[in-house]
Structure 1
Amino acid sequence: MAFSFNNGGHRGRRFGGPSAMSEINVVPLVDVVLVLLIIFMITANVMEFGLDIQVPKVKRVQNTTQDLPVVSISKNGESFLGDKPVNINLLAQSVRQRFHNATAVYVRADRETPWDPIAQVVAELGEAKLEVRIVTAPIDSSTRQPRR
């Protein structure tokens, strides 16, 4: 939608000739900004879980929409708060600093992670009176292995 304000209701520069529109049409600008906004929103969601962690699969998964801090544990036992590496001994303190009102924490561990780093993270969070919620994925029925 473009507006043109001509002087005195005349069509052109003199009498009837076309005049150049001197206003900026902002509609294409708004379109580009909205597309960029959508791209950044999608990218932000992908970046949150950018670590390559294959969570264990279970039969039943309880879906939740709570926005809680996420502690990820990689295959080699490294711990991350969000996407930043964190020392296990300072984990509870880091959670409290970044998420002041947090009462629970999601723990995402790769299914090939040794049990020791997971136990250390759970113990550290438990000492700080933070509820631990383990992140899992549903078993895909097409890839389910038959029982033997």
Structure 2
Amino acid sequence: MGAKLSHGTGNQIGGGPVSDINVTPLVDVMLVLLIVFMVAAPLMAQGVKVDLPTSNAKPLKEEKPPIAVSLDAEGKLFVDKTPVSHETLVAALAKEAAGDKERRINIRGDKGLAYGKVIETMGEINDAGFSKIALVSEPVPK
């Protein structure tokens, strides 16, 4: 009595077909799809239209009142209620803050103003050394 030995993967009995599924190509395809979606997801989020002027954010509490920088619909700048130009903005902020670079600055941009103008003003204020900058919005009407 001799035993019949099979050579191969061990799943074959007598040389029949292999019934195991090869999952390596499936894993390869799934990894490629994962990478594609990881790259594409941030690009899809940029197209969302958002109305920023209203917010449910709670107001910040500070011991010193913040300095208000306002931009009206035409893009004119004001520090508190004093009109300033882009060239004199940093000097007016330094005078108002009295050398305190940790003082909070609230930027109040008109709803109809181009978003780039607000960002440009934030950049000028940040370049002057002020790091606590906040955007002000109106609360959502109930």
TM-score range relative to shorter protein: 0.5 to 0.7
The residue aligned with 1:61 is: 58
Q: What is the TM-score when the length of structure 2 is the normalising length?
A: 0.55
Q: Is the 8 A contact 1:70 1:108 kept in 2?
A: yes
The residue aligned with 1:109 is: 109
- CA shift for structure 1 position 90: 2.2
Whole-Å Cα distance in 2 between the matches of residues 96 and 74 of structure 1? 21
Q: Is the 8 A contact 2:101 2:129 kept in 1?
A: no
1:107 maps to amino acid: I
Count of paired positions:
87
Whole-Å Cα distance in 2 between the matches of residues 102 and 140 of structure 1? 34
Q: In structure 2, do the counterparts of structure 1 residues 82 and 69 end up closer, same or farther at CA, with 3 Å as the change threshold?
A: same
Quick check: 1:134 aligned with 2:135?
A: yes
Greater CA radius of gyration, 1 or 2? Answer: 2
Q: Name whichever of 103-112 and 93-102 sits farther off.
A: 93-102
Name structure 1 gaps, 5 residues minimum: 1-54, 142-148
SS at match of 2:87: helix
SS at match of 2:88: helix
Whole-Å Cα distance in 2 between the matches of residues 63 and 126 of structure 1? 19
Q: What is the TM-score when the length of structure 1 is the normalising length?
A: 0.52
Q: Is the 8 A contact 1:61 1:136 kept in 2?
A: no
Whole-Å Cα distance in 2 between the matches of residues 86 and 73 of structure 1? 10
The residue aligned with 1:125 is: 125
CA RMSD in angstroms comes to: 1.9
Q: Return structure 1 stretches of 4+ with deviation > 3 angstroms.
A: none
Q: In structure 2, do the counterparts of structure 1 residues 69 and 102 end up closer, same or farther at CA, with 3 Å as the change threshold?
A: farther
